[in-house]
Amino acid sequence: MILPLDIILLIFLVIAAVLALKLRDLLSATMVFSIYGFLICLIWAEMGAVDVAFTEATVGAGISGALMIATIFKTARKSSD
Amino acid sequence: MENSIHSYLPLWACLSSLAAVPLILLFRRETFLREAVTILAGIAKLSFVLAMLPIILQGNMIELTLFGDGSDGLVPIVFRVDGLGMVFALVASILWIPTSIYSIGYMRGLKEHSQTRFYVFFAVSLFATLGVAFAGNLLTLYVFYEILSLSTWPLVTHHQDAEARRGGRSYLVHLLGTSIAFVIPAMIYVWVKSGTLDFGGQAILADTDLSYVQGLALLLAFAFGFSKGALMPLHSWLPSAMVAPTPVSALLHAVAVVKVGVFCIIRTVLNIFGMDLLGGLGIDLVLCWIAAITLVTASLIALTQDNLKRMLAFSTIGQLSYIILGIALLTEHAALGSILHIAMHAFGKITLFFCAGAIFVATGKKQISELNGLGRRMPITFAAFAIGAASVTGLPPMGGFLSKLYLVWGAAEAHQIALLCAFLISAVLNGAYFFPVVYRAFFLPEPEMDAIHADGSCCVSGWREAPLLCVLPLAFTAIGSILLFFFPSTFYDLASIVLHGGVANP
Amino acid sequence: MSEHLPVIVVLAPLFGAVIVGFFGSRDRRLCFPIALTALALSFICSIGVVHHVATVGAWDYFVGGWESPHGVGIQLRADGVNSLLLLAIAVVALLALVYSIRQDGEKDAEKSPFFYVLFLLLCVGLFGITITGDAFNVYVLIEITALTSYGLVAMGSSRRSRVAAFQYLVIGTVGASFYLIGVGYLYLAVGSLNMADIRAILAANPEIANSRIVGTALVFILLGVWTKMSLFPLHGWLPNAYSYCPSGSANLMAPLVTKVSVYVMIRILFSVFGLGVITENPGWSELVVLIAVGSIVAGSVMALTQREIKKMLCCLIVAEVGYMVGGTWLGDAGRWGLTGSMYHILADAMMTSCLFLAAGVFAKQFGATRLEHLSGLFRRSPWVAGAFTLGGLAMIGVPPMCGFFSKFYLIRGAIESGHWLYIVALLGSSLVNAILFFRIFEIAYFGEVPESSEPFEPSEGEGATPRRYAVWRTAPLLIAAALTLLLGIFNRPVIDLIRGTVVENTGIVSMEE
Amino acid sequence: MMEWMKTTIVPHFNFWIYVVIMMLGLWAAIGKNNLIKKLIGLSIFQTAILLLYVSMGVKEGASIPIVDETMGEAAVDFMAQGGGGAGATAFPINPDLFANPLPHVLMLTAIVVGVATLGVALALCQVIFRDFGTLEEPEILNQIKTIQDDV
Amino acid sequence: MQKLFATIAVIITGAILLNAVEDFPRFGDPHSPPNSGVSGGSVSSSVHYLQNTYLDTRVPNVVTAVLADYRGYDTLFETAVILTAGIAVFAILRVVRREDEEESAGSEEKACSGEFSTSDSDGEGRHRVVVGTTCRVVVPLAQLFGFYIIAHGHPSPGGGFQGGVVLGTSFILIALAAGLGSALGRLREDMYLRLACLGVFIYAGIGLLSLFFRRNFLDYGALSGLLQTGGEEMARSHGIFGVELGVAMTVTTVMFALFANLSTRGELKGGL
């Protein structure tokens, strides 16, 4: 655990979260969400939770993004908020 | 006090009518078998009750506890047969047989629809009635009380027309509503207060420290919660329930249901509060006055009624308050009188209802004003009517005389002159609303009969009695209410057992 | 194998689900027998568990054999309460399964294997939640239950069922996550996940038990389960979710899912935090009882405004949940409220199952989904009407139905602890139920039989079905009604078992001074 | 201010951030209109909980929870010599050198549950879009009002 | 309105949580209750795991051991959750077309499919060359890596889930590059649904085996006799491996199933 890295990553994390919720274009929101997943994966790794990091990398940054994009392609891309 | 005997007799007595239900359903096609089953079940029930009678008369109790004993603080289902329960059970099971015979005649005479349902729920309600009579603790009492309310609903609404709907609705709203809203909390409050709900031994609340307000609230909750007792202002279900077929009104609304109400109130006074506590708190007078007001008011209203059955209904309300008032007076003779009155009034009033039904079957007339001169065509019916009326009014040599005598005596004992007057006034009023009917029937000329008289044909040709199956029972009950005057000993002994056994001391 | 009954109860439906999923899609006729066998197996096992608990006592089972040191492995625990609940779940699930037998030629028949898989997995979740003794394990199983429920709700053919399912999903996930947060705080405070272990730690060090962390943990666990059990004001999702899903699955979910959540609350209260939290913070328990009263009132009022049978029943569920939560939090010395609500969990499971089965039969046999469709029901099929009547009477709380006795003990608890408002709400809702059901009885009893004895225009999602399946739908209904009656008449053994557990878990001396 | 930051924020920084992210996610899950947005919020909400758990298991200067073979074998030999039993000072494996594995295990489960939920939710979104042609909750609710009678 | 309600609710929640955060143990404290337990209870489970995992199971990666052995019961249901998701998505989304509905459905699809929808047919474009070639290289590597993760979960991070997801991703890659059709050609629908069930069955079955040796459920130690491993530790290690295989099987198939259904709105035709 490295505290400064921890703090920096967490701040980025919050920014990513806000961005993902703010963007009205769902596709870019999903992209940011994947970035968010990747950031949090880094945080896990930095905290020594390697298995969680691994899973998060595959699931959070990988599959969930893919599924969401698939859905967005099949539905609407614009969001009212 | 009494030694209690463990026996399954009370259970059998209750179940004998319930056991008839599947058979009745089985024979719903063959009407004869169906009715035979009904009567046989009645006989079986009566024999079970009679089998218990000597045991009770020797001053014993019969006890039966189901689902564990009360040791762990939970409330078991208890059957206990004591004098009071015996009186009621005896009346109900004796009167069931003539009623079922009568109802056969009545239903056939009017070709009523869905008779099977009628007999089924009739049997169920008798099961519940005896359950109430033999209930050994408040929970058991309440359970059977509710079963009775529900099983009589289809009977009240038998005709299924708009009027029946209205009657049934107010019936349920009154009975179910009051019992859920008042009795349940009161019952559980008693349980919390005293830790038991058992009627055996001394009264439940005897040695608890109830304040005046608590006591009054509980008493009223019970008195109005058991609204089958038809205390004003919760009486209006009784007249509206008169839409039921007459046998139903006869057994249930003259005997079973309403008597269950007063029976529960007597239980409340004797076994929940106990005479001493009530007297000590001085809340007995409240009950007395409510009853007295109901008594006079109901009789006055009955004067104004023209529909025969409604008139009988209001007179029933009045007579019920006799019983409640009698027990609420807390003197030995008054209590004796009120317990006797359960039996006496049952016989008298059921006779009257039978007569009303018979008149309807024979002539289709419901209004008193139409009865002119019918007595000459239906002498037996109207003779029975006169007897029943006399008994309910309390004239010798009818059973009603004895009970009312004791009641008045008790009132005098309690130095409640006003209540004494209430008794006498309403007795006069009873006469005032019954005997005009008899007078009309026998002495007023019947309008369209004059022609027949003119050509001098014998009025035997005018004999148009109701079917035999209707006349026999009412004759039987009429005679019964006379016999009760000469041989009241059984009921008298039972009542005195109640008072000397059930209550702390005479 | 008899020493493994507690785990077999859970495994039987799991294996059933897997096998159905494996073979079912090839031959659909296999699905129903397999599912039936699986549930019957867990029914038998749960009887065994109940018998063991009643005769020997509480039963601990350590999965993976990690018995010592305590709390390393996952522990299953069966005692007087949850063994009975296991039995109830098994019975209700069997009835619902028999009811929901699907036949080829029905629309989306190729999905029926997966209906059974979801059905069985839902049973797995319910059984597992009931019997587990591990705080985190509960979360996983809650999620199984939730996911299957979403799937089953969304299988309804009404367009609204999907929206209902989505709202249910969002709310349900938030609720489960709240529970997870609560467990996390608890773990942060005591460093263990095993319920008994946590109980011991909290009992040993009061300064932890009174810390803000544990308090917050309790708050969030409660929020989570309240959301799951749709306690007022978190009840919005329930009526839609349960009234738009196919009746086959409504019969399983409506009676059980909320009850199991209530059970989780009770379990967490008395075997993790200890009932002290109720008695020691009267202010809070007062508040909770108020919420429960609100739930009762809201449920009854909503039910009064409904004209659809299923919706009305769903609103009644909200009220019933209020009964149980309130009863649990009465905190009376005699623990009567707790006893009452534990008994009511079983009673309500039975009577809700009876009523929903009846609603399903109405819809399938008579196409009747609204009150007025029921006119003349007594003449059209007296048996169905009679069964529905029994259920309704139980709901009203008329003796000797089971509904009466639970109210009997609940009110006793309320009187002892002086919660008069709760009593008023309880009796009031009983009266409301009386009005509701006797309104239906009147329609069914007096109403004219519609001249066309054929079913009405079958409503969306409830396709009218061939007569030969009628018995499969009616038999469970009659059984459920009979059980509702029997559970009431023979309430004593049940109450004794429950009280035994309560007394042992809360250490009150049995009864009256 | 800085002092307060040092004493209050820094020692619990992860927990503060977790609460912030939790609030963000929950707010979106409840308050957003677009269903996909709700789901993104929901996922963020769940990851916040992961952050809570994993942060519990962190130990200063600890490494990842993998006991390498040598140390493990040493422990085996230690036990073989019947030395003292677990937890004794001489025991070669010092738990303070490894991060707490239990939260990691729990969170693996939570992540998987999260993705499962997400999948089902997305499927629901597609069905809803097929039925209503939109993913905005208010519009969907309006459409539902119009079909009040198809139960 | 809804937003306002949400904001209030969220603020309240956050306030409660932050209020408790005040008395949390210091971040990274090795002796906080979760890390070293509290007096009064039994031994701290985490300490016990760290110290005894290798002794009990010979598995260096504590997380894997705890996941699949100590708390294997959780993981069983976690796998069941994944299965549930696969089945639920099928039940919700899958539309099985009968011939008569074909064309109407086709038109409807054209009507409301999003702006990005490109179906198989027009996929035969130049971009397909690049993507296809890359895939032909990447997919085998991905699958190999997936198997490596599964197999190597004992000594290093990884295990059934991670490996399963990677494998599933490889199939998704095929679907993206060569069209869903070719992916389904490699993993047919009825096949992957069966495999998903089979995975859970393997897991639960291995657990069930120990019942026949009169041991508790999921007690892999019981298998030592069966697997001819000296001592129960290796038996546990093997048991964990078998379980991981089951998990991987379910995860792989379900992940692919999710994508396949979601990317075609449940018709398993066309694709993105």
Residue found under tokens 């307060």: D4
Determine which of D6, D30, D55, D135 to mutate to test the interface with A (most A C-beta atoms within 10 Å).
D135
Nearest chain C alpha carbon to D138: C163
Q: Does the interface predicted TM-score (ipTM) exceed 0.90?
A: no
Q: Which residues, at least 6 apart from E104, have a Cβ–Cβ distance to it below 8 Å?
A: none
- Give the integer Cα–Cα distance in Å for B249 and B290: 25
The tens digit of pLDDT for each residue in E210-253 reads 888 888 898 888 888 888 877 888 889 999 999 999 999 999 99
C319 within 8 A of C429, measured Cβ to Cβ = yes
Which two three-digit tokens encode residue E124?
A: 């035969």
Q: Chain C closest CA to B229's CA: distance in Å?
A: 20
User: Does residue B456 have a pLDDT over 50?
Assistant: no
Mean pLDDT in residue range B235-258: 81
Question: What is the structure's pLDDT at C88?
Answer: 94
Q: Please tell me which of A52-56, B209-213, E125-129 the model is most confident about, judged by mean pLDDT.
A: A52-56
Q: Are A66 and E265 within 8 A, CB to CB?
A: no
Burial C147-186 (b: 16+ CB within 10 A, else e): bbbbbbbbbbbbbbbbbbbbbbbbbbbbbbbbbbbbbbbb
Question: What is the structure's pLDDT at B160?
Answer: 79
- Touching check for C469 and chain D: CB below 8 Å? no
Nearest chain A alpha carbon to D134: A76
**C-alpha B241, offset from chain centre:** 14
Element (H, E) at C73: none
Q: Please tell me which of B157-171, B453-467, C72-86 the model is most confident about, judged by mean pLDDT.
A: C72-86
Mean pLDDT in residue range E167-188: 86
Q: Chain A closest CA to E259's CA: distance in Å?
A: 6
Model pTM score: 0.90
- Give the integer Cα–Cα distance in Å for C261 and E220: 33
The tens digit of pLDDT for each residue in C444-496 reads 887 777 665 444 444 434 444 455 567 788 889 999 999 999 998 888 888 88
The tens digit of pLDDT for each residue in D37-48 reads 999 999 999 999
Mean pLDDT in residue range B351-355: 88
Residues 88-127 of E with CB under 8 A from D: 88-89, 92-93, 112
Q: Are A63 and E114 within 8 A, CB to CB?
A: no
In the predicted model, residues of chain C with pLDDT beneath 70 are 1, 102-109, 450-469, 506-513
Question: Average pLDDT of chain B?
Answer: 83
Q: Which residues from A are below 8 Å from D when comparing CB atoms?
A: 1, 3, 6-7, 10-11, 13-14, 17-18, 20-21, 26, 29-30, 33, 36-37, 40, 43-44, 47-52, 55-56, 59-60, 63-64, 67-68, 70-72, 74-76, 79-81
In the predicted model, residues of chain D with pLDDT beneath 70 are 1, 82-90, 148-151
- Three-state secondary structure of chain D: CHHHHHHHHHHHHHHHHHHHHHHHHHHHHHHCCEHHHHHHHHHHHHHHHHHHHHHHHCCCCCECCECCHHHHHHHHHHHHCCCCCCCCCCCCCCHHHECCHHHHHHHHHHHHHHHHHHHHHHHHHHHHHHHHCCCEHHHHHHHHHHCCCCC
pLDDT-wise least confident of B246-260, B423-437, C325-339, C419-433: B246-260
Question: What is the structure's pLDDT at B487?
Answer: 84
Nearest chain E alpha carbon to C66: E70
User: Does residue E125 have a pLDDT over 60?
Assistant: no
Percent share of chain B, pLDDT over 70: 93
User: Does residue B502 have a pLDDT over 50?
Assistant: no
The tens digit of pLDDT for each residue in B469-499 reads 888 888 888 888 888 888 888 888 888 887 7
Burial B318-335 (b: 16+ CB within 10 A, else e): bbbbbbbbbbbbbbbbbb
Which two three-digit tokens encode residue D112?
A: 């998987």
Question: What is the structure's pLDDT at E42?
Answer: 75
Mean pLDDT in residue range B219-241: 85
Q: Are D49 and C154 within 8 A, CB to CB?
A: no
Question: What is the structure's pLDDT at E115?
Answer: 35
Question: What is the structure's pLDDT at E77?
Answer: 95
Residue found under tokens 């963020």: D44
Q: Which residues of D touch E6 (CB under 8 A)?
A: 26-27, 30-31
Say if E and B touch: at least 3 Cβ pairs within 8 Å.
no
User: Does residue B296 have a pLDDT over 50?
Assistant: yes
pLDDT-wise least confident of C123-127, E45-49, E121-125, E156-160: E121-125
Mean pLDDT in residue range B140-156: 89
The tens digit of pLDDT for each residue in B75-101 reads 888 888 888 888 889 888 888 888 888
Element (H, E) at B233: none
Element (H, E) at B78: strand B77-81
Determine which of C9, C28, C63, C186 to mutate to test the interface with E (most E C-beta atoms within 10 Å).
C63
- Give the integer Cα–Cα distance in Å for C498 and C79: 9
**Strand-pair category, B77-81 with B61-66:** antiparallel
Mean pLDDT in residue range B402-426: 86
Number of residues that this document lists for chain C: 513
Q: Look up residue C308 and give its DSSP letter.
A: B
Which two three-digit tokens encode residue C166?
A: 């989505």
Nearest chain E alpha carbon to A71: E262
pLDDT band of residue B242 (cuts 50, 70, 90) is confident
**Strand-pair category, C59-63 with B77-81:** unpaired
